[in-house]
């Protein structure tokens, strides 16, 4: 049975090289190519590939942004293509199916491909790769995210984090409130907060994160809580649990 593969890289020559190296693998069918992260998320959802060759360094939405947008539990078997240094590669060795460090040889490519093929066919007797743990490990060294990919109808759009006013928890999602509208994002509050600049975003409640630039005022409330009035008039609660984060303000 052929494996359906998707090739994602912002460099056309890099995509061409992966296709060329796959020619000798008669069981791999390349069902699509993507030149950026936005295209990759849409292609993964529409084409349902079993294997993804995913470049990490891409503008606007990088490879990790693709994983976050699709969801670590819904990503196909993924071979990361990276130019990361040796320090970061340890995380890939522990938590990923495999990775390809640019520039890679044909021998290394086919070695990684064989490992991925065995994962796709469920013949590798090892613990399943843990993309969630990989993201946690690498997020510590990643810059604060400045864009988030959200679904809008039947398409995806990039939302600049600086435009976020506040964020609320909603079951297994978070709702992003942006200038009179809102978007659902499949993410946890803790996971999203770890990617946002703490100089701009603070958690005020177990179910709310605010953009500090969008706060109009604080008012005393019951039980030691504070009422947070946003510039658009929204009223939120700053609970005692998180008040210490605003110690310099009170």
**Domain residue extents for the chain:** 3-139, 147-246
User: Rounded to whole angstroms, how far apart are CA atoms 250 and 236?
Assistant: 17
Residue 84 pLDDT: 66
Q: What is the CATH number of domain 147-246?
A: 2.40.50.1020
Spatial neighbors of 107 by CB under 8 A, at least 6 apart, are none
Look at residues 45, 62, 63 and name the one whose alpha carbon lies nearest to residue 53.
Answer: 63
pLDDT the model gives residue 135: 74
pLDDT reported for residue 146: 86
Residue 74 confidence (pLDDT): 87
- Omega before 213 within 30 of 0, i.e. cis: no
3-state SS assignment for residue 106: helix
φ, ψ (nearest 5 deg) of residue 156: -115, 145
Give the SS3 label for residue 80.
strand
Opening angle at CA 165, ends 134 and 131, nearest 5: 10
> Any residues with CB less than 8 A from the CB of 241 and at least 6 apart, and which?
205, 206
How confident is the model at residue 250, as a pLDDT?
A: 60
Residue-by-residue pLDDT tens, the chain, 250 positions: 689 999 999 999 999 999 999 998 889 999 999 999 999 999 999 999 999 999 988 887 888 889 888 888 888 999 989 876 654 566 666 567 888 888 899 999 999 999 888 888 776 556 667 777 777 776 666 778 888 888 887 788 889 999 999 999 998 889 999 988 999 888 888 888 888 998 999 999 999 999 999 999 998 887 778 899 999 999 999 998 888 877 767 6
- Find the radius of gyration of the CA atoms of the chain: 21
Spatial separation of the C-alpha atoms in residues 236 and 197, rounded to whole Å: 20
Helix axis angle, 106-120 to 12-22, nearest 10°: 70
The total of other beta-carbon atoms located within 10 Å of residue 180's CB is 7
What CATH number does the domain located at 3-139 have?
A: 3.40.50.2300
What is the rounded distance in angstroms from the CA atom of residue 9 to the CA atom of residue 200? 32
- pLDDT at position 69 is 86
- Do 3-139 and 147-246 come out as alike in CATH topology? no
pLDDT at 201: 95
pLDDT the model gives residue 208: 95
């Amino acid at each position: 049975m052929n494996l359906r593969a998707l090739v994602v890289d912002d460099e056309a020559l890099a995509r061409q090289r992966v296709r060329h190296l796959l020619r000798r693998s008669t069981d791999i069918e390349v069902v699509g190519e993507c030149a950026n992260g936005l295209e990759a998320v849409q292609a993964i959802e529409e084409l349902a590939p079993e294997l993804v060759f995913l470049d990490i360094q891409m503008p606007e939405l990088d490879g990790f942004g693709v994983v976050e947008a699709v969801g670590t539990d819904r990503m196909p078997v993924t071979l990361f293509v990276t130019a990361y240094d040796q320090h970061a590669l340890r995380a890939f060795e522990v938590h990923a199916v495999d990775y390809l460090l640019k520039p890679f040889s044909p021998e290394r490519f086919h070695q990684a491909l064989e490992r991925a093929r065995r994962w796709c066919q469920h013949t590798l007797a090892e613990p399943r790769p843990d993309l969630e743990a990989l993201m946690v490990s690498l997020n510590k060294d990643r810059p604060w995210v400045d864009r988030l990919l959200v679904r809008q109808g039947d398409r995806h759009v990039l939302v600049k984090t600086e435009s976020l006013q506040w964020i609320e928890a909603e079951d297994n999602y978070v709702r992003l409130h942006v200038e009179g509208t809102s978007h659902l994002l499949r993410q946890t509050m803790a996971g999203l907060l770890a990617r946002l600049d703490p100089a701009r975003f603070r958690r005020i409640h177990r179910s709310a994160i605010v953009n500090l630039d969008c706060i109009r005022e604080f008012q005393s409330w019951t039980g030691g809580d504070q009422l947070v009035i946003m510039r658009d008039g929204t009223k939120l609660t700053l609970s005692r649990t998180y008040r210490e984060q605003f110690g310099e303000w009170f």
